[in-house]
Structure 1
Amino acid sequence: MKFQTSIPLKKQTRNLIDYDANILLLGSCFSENIGNKLNYFKFQHLQNPFGILFHPKAIEQFITDVINGKKFTKEDLIYQNERYHSFNAHSSLSEVDENMILNNLNSQISTTQKFLENTSHLIITLGTAWVYRFIETDKIVANCHKIPQKKFLKELLNIAEIAESLEAIVSLAKSVNPNITILFTVSPIRHLKDGFVQNMQSKSHLISAIHEVINIRKNIHYFPSYEIMMDELRDYRFYAEDMIHPNKTAIQYIWECFTEVWFAENTASTLKEIDIIQKGIAHKPFNTKSEEHKKFLHNLYLKKELIISKYPHISF
């Protein structure tokens, strides 16, 4: 007797992720979860250079700015709550000093521009189809930065608008990197502040738009992280205390599903070796001067050197 339905996953046969891959992750906070896993296992990756971007219009604007090599100036900033912000970026990039935020924004644009040219996999996680339009400029923003809500109009992007935005993202990325593999996924994090029904409406728009795009494009794929969370893991024991975000168990499960589909077989042994090393680094000894601990450190050093000899870009 089965007590769980499983999402059918098909192993990819081309353009698999290995330790030579360069992975760019953009989007909602679930991309941070996957990015943290890639960081732990020492993959070459760049994760949300402008911070978390929740909706497709924000990601499209970021890719556009990267391709065009946009230079941010003080005219692009707003000042709110004694900090400078950009409507194109998450508040994690906000600063009390005007020059600091400008340097950071422009540095991230430059870094991403160089990285995108050699990116093997672009992973985009869409969080919501709800957007906020700043009334004063009539522009959709990536983040409201706690500016009073009366200064914004809240809108739901329709399927056609989202598909158009995703098409633009794909075209822009391929204009500088024709061989790039693009993966879309929808964040399993529920945006319940929008309302329960409104969240489902938003997610359905995102999923429908993604499939409109992947049906007519090559090297564009969909990974069902949202469906895995909503169906296979449909139990609150897989949620954090806020009952909105996936907990560590859920993130680990979805990560394992992702590696099963997208990782080359030759990465499996390296993943295990790096996991052993990372746990060794985190180990807290009872006696740092003991012979046993010295032997442990020496063995750990040898394991690190073996990995680095195979993959010189890795450092611990």
Structure 2
Amino acid sequence: MKLQTQIPLKVAENTIDYNSKVFLMGSCFVENIGEKLQYFKFQNLVNPFGIIFHPVAMEHLLDRVVKERFFTVDDIFYLNERWQCFEVHSEMGNSSKEAFLDHLNTSLEALKAFLQEASHVVITLGTAWGYRHMEQGKIVANCHKVPQKCFQKELMEVNALSLSLKRTTSLLLSLNPEIEIIFTVSPVRHIKDGFVENQLSKAHLIAAVHQIITGEKRLHCFPSYEIMMDELRDYRFYAEDMLHPNETAVKYIWKKFQDVWIDHESLPIMKEVEKVQNGLQHRPFNRESEEYKKFQLKLQQKIVYLSSTYPHIQF
């Protein structure tokens, strides 16, 4: 695959290694990166409140987490036989009010504890288009199939986005001053807003991110969207829906992320982890053969070595 244009990238100073703890939040592309981190057994936590697309919705949720404003019955509602909350994804919903609130608040406590020890936060911004609940007057994370008439759709301007992102970073740094915050704009196209509207949205997000990271030591931008648009500018890199990056594109962007953000000394460990992952997927013709027993013994030795060196690594 020969590429005509490659975006210049600089290796980060405070990279991610096997002692790092990475929190990932935002649109569905952040889960692709999270899956790679999980596959290679880095310590990570991905979207404990589900996928969230809008920067302001992320800010509101992190404000609640950092300040420990626990969810109450006033924050939830019952619709289609399930309890839901406008601040989280529909997958969090539950038919039991008590179980739902317990899950929300347990997740809140767990996330705050993780952030206090985290080394890196990756925030993937999905869209600048938001849905403001008319009665509550705030941007929601998910509409939960509430009638459209209850919302006002709006495009957030660059300065307003910048202020929201600044508040988000201030919240995170107030909880953990040593944290590295990496912003990226999702390469997934939101064409339900329209092709032109999607481009406008992405442009607003990119401009807002670059406004806030300039001159800031712990704020960074990784160009996921730009790589997809400029280096992978062909439909063969998209899934069947022509909106999401396919596995080839995800691997390509992950390799770029790895080159910038994964510690060089962690690469040999990643290779050993991958060998174990491949070994666990191996299906022998004869499980009773001596060859397979030797294979299993070597595999177990690798697992023991990795787990003894890094206790969080479990297969």
Fold agreement, TM-score > 0.5 = yes
The answer as to whether partners of 1:70 and 1:106 remain within 8 angstroms in 2 is no
What is the rounded CA distance, in whole Å, between the counterparts of 2:21 and 2:313 in structure 1? 13
> Which amino acid in structure 2 is aligned with residue 67 of structure 1?
V
- Work out the CA distance in 2 between the residues paired with 1:67 and 1:3: 43
> Displacement, 1:99?
1.4
With over 3 angstroms needed to count, the CA separation of the structure-2 counterparts of 1:47 and 1:3, relative to structure 1, is closer
What is the correspondence of 1:227-242 to structure 2 with a 5 Å cutoff? 227-242=226-241
| Residue 289 (structure 1) shift | 2.4
* CA distance in structure 2 between the aligned counterparts of 1:242 and 1:267, rounded to whole angstroms: 35
Instruction: Give matches, 1:95-110, under 5 Å.
Output: 95-110=94-109
Paired with 1:220 and 1:278, the residues of 2 have a C-alpha distance of 33
Superposed CA offset, 1:127-155 (max 9, x none)? 00000011121121000011111111001
User: Could you tell me which amino acid in structure 2 is paired with residue 102 of structure 1?
Assistant: L
Q: Deviations over 1:150-171 (max 9, x none)?
A: 1110010100110000000110
Q: Tell me, yes or no, if the aligned pair for 1:123 and 1:182 is still in contact at 8 Å.
A: yes
Q: Which moved more, 1:265-274 or 1:71-80?
A: 71-80
Q: Given that residues 66 and 109 in structure 1 are in contact (C-alpha distance below 8 angstroms), is that contact kept between their aligned partners in structure 2?
A: yes
The residue that corresponds to 2:123 in the other structure is 124
1:275-304 deviations in Å (ceiling 9; x for gaps) = 110011112222222222222111110111
Counterpart in 2 of 1:192?
Answer: 191
2:164 aligned counterpart, secondary structure? helix
Aligned to 1:36: 35
Q: Paired residue for 2:154?
A: 155
Aligned to 1:178: 177
C-alpha displacement at 1:176, in angstroms?
A: 1.3
Q: Which residue of 2 aligns with 1:11?
A: 11
Partner residue in 2 for 1:245: 244
> What's the TM-score, normalizing by structure 1?
0.97
* Structure 2: distance between partners of 1:118 and 1:206: 28
Is the 2:3–2:231 Cα contact (8 Å) retained in structure 1? no
- 1:205-230 residue CA offsets vs partner (Å, 9 max, x unmatched): 00000000001422100001101101
Structure 2: how far apart are the matches of 1:3 and 1:117?
A: 41
**Does the 8 Å contact 1:163/1:210 carry over to 2?**
yes
Residue equivalent to 1:143: 142
TM-score (norm 2): 0.98
Task: Return 5+ residue gaps in structure 2 as ranges.
Answer: none
Q: For residue 37 of structure 1, what is the amino acid of its counterpart?
A: K
- RMSD value, Cα: 1.0
Q: Give 1:255's aligned residue.
A: 254
In the aligned structure 1, how far is the partner of 2:157 from the partner of 2:284? 56
Q: How many residues align?
A: 314
Worse-matched range after superposition: 15-24 or 303-312: 303-312
Q: Unpaired segments of 5 or more residues in structure 1?
A: none
Determine the structure 1 residue equivalent to 2:295: 296
- What is the SS of the residue equivalent to 2:24? strand
Distance 1:271 1:104 in 2: 33
